[in-house]
Amino acid sequence: MSTMTTTPTSQLDRFARQVRSGRTVAPSGACRLGVDLGTGNIVLAVVDGDDHPVGGAWLRSTVVRDGVVVDWLGAVRAVGQLRDTLAGKLGVTFREAAVAIPPGIDAGTTKVFTNVLEACGLEASEVVDEPVAAATALGVTDGVVIDVGHGTTGVSILRDSEVLKSVDQATGGHHMTLVISGALGIDYEAAEQLKRDPAQGDLVIGLIRPTLEKMATIAAEATVGYEEFPVYLVGGSSSYPQSPAVFEGVLRRPVTRPDEPLFPTPLGTAMRRNR
Ligand SMILES: Nc1ncnc2c1ncn2[C@@H]1O[C@H](COP(=O)(O)OP(=O)(O)OP(=O)(O)O)[C@@H](O)[C@H]1O
Ligand SMILES: [Mg+2]
């Protein structure tokens, strides 16, 4: 059973800083591009020949819903623009990219993700399950990955870097925003801003704790029989300081959440596997 060893958290922190600042660093060796088309965010990551992050770009977006690309043109435009930005800054040309998909989607739905890349002139070099990508960035091969995103919460059990079982539940950050909006009588965008304001942390956790507990209960049910697997929490909606403790309270075992839970999936999509 492996723990967080091979990839230091510093690489994830470095990537997060690159995405947030828009700064890139000079790559050493051939670059690899990864594309994560989420419900709340589209994130592109570039790693160099040593698998170190050299740049990233993102956009808040609504092109994917429930694991399905609902805005084809928007997705193609966003990926193309973010790719062009990164290619320009890094001085490289991307001909291919790896793309992350929600685990368990069918071949037809997967094809839509690879078609988005192809419409941008990118060959899909690899299709990787989102939890496998997150685990790659965390340096984990065996464990439970709980991904609390914008539209959904995914619970995946990984063994030898493959998904043994995955459960997807339609509760995520979007629903937290709706809860806050309803409770405080403010519009969706105001609730979304308030949700991410650390100064409002106590108010926000009070409102969304039951949602986190529900997600943790789903994770507990999905992982019966896998109690010995280490648990990792990723996804933007696991950002609250209290999130690991809430999950630990329900799952009754340690839960590890990296400091930058928004970024393991996109970073790990770009990283090479089976080296
Ligand atoms: N600091 C924060 N505190 C609370 N929530 C946050 C924070 N930062 C981001 N979020 C929430 O995280 C969500 C986006 O996370 P993420 O990018 O992991 O989702 P996604 O991959 O786009 O969605 P999905 O996986 O469901 O397709 C949004 O709901 C956003 O409001
Ligand atoms: Mg996601």
Write out pLDDT tens, residues 48-101. 999 999 999 999 988 888 778 888 999 999 999 999 999 999 999 999 999 999
39 Cβ inside 6 Å of ligand 1: yes
pLDDT category of residue 7 using cuts at 50, 70 and 90: low
pTM: 0.95
The CA distance from 39 to 211, in Å, is: 18
**Atom 1 of ligand 1 has which residue's CA nearest to it?**
196
The CA distance from 106 to 128, in Å, is: 13
In testing the pocket of ligand 1, which one of 12, 39, 207 has its CB within 8 Å of the most ligand atoms? 39
Assess contact for 7 and 137: CB atoms under 8 A.
Answer: yes
Position 94 scores a pLDDT of 98
Position 66 scores a pLDDT of 76
140-256: CATH topology: Nucleotidyltransferase; domain 5 (3.30.420)
**Atom 10 of ligand 1 has which residue's CA nearest to it?**
236
Taking residues 264-268, report their average pLDDT: 98
Residues of each domain in the chain carrying CATH 3.30.420.40: 9-137+262-270, 140-256
Position 104 scores a pLDDT of 87
CA 262 to chain centre: 5
9-137+262-270: CATH topology: Nucleotidyltransferase; domain 5 (3.30.420)
Write out pLDDT tens, residues 92-136. 999 999 999 999 899 999 999 999 999 999 999 999 999 999 999
Alpha-helix residue ranges (DSSP H) falling in 104-200: 107-119, 130-138, 173-184, 188-195
pLDDT > 70? residue 153: yes
Tell how far the Cα of 202 is from the centroid of ligand 2, in angstroms.
25
CA of 19, nearest ligand number:
1
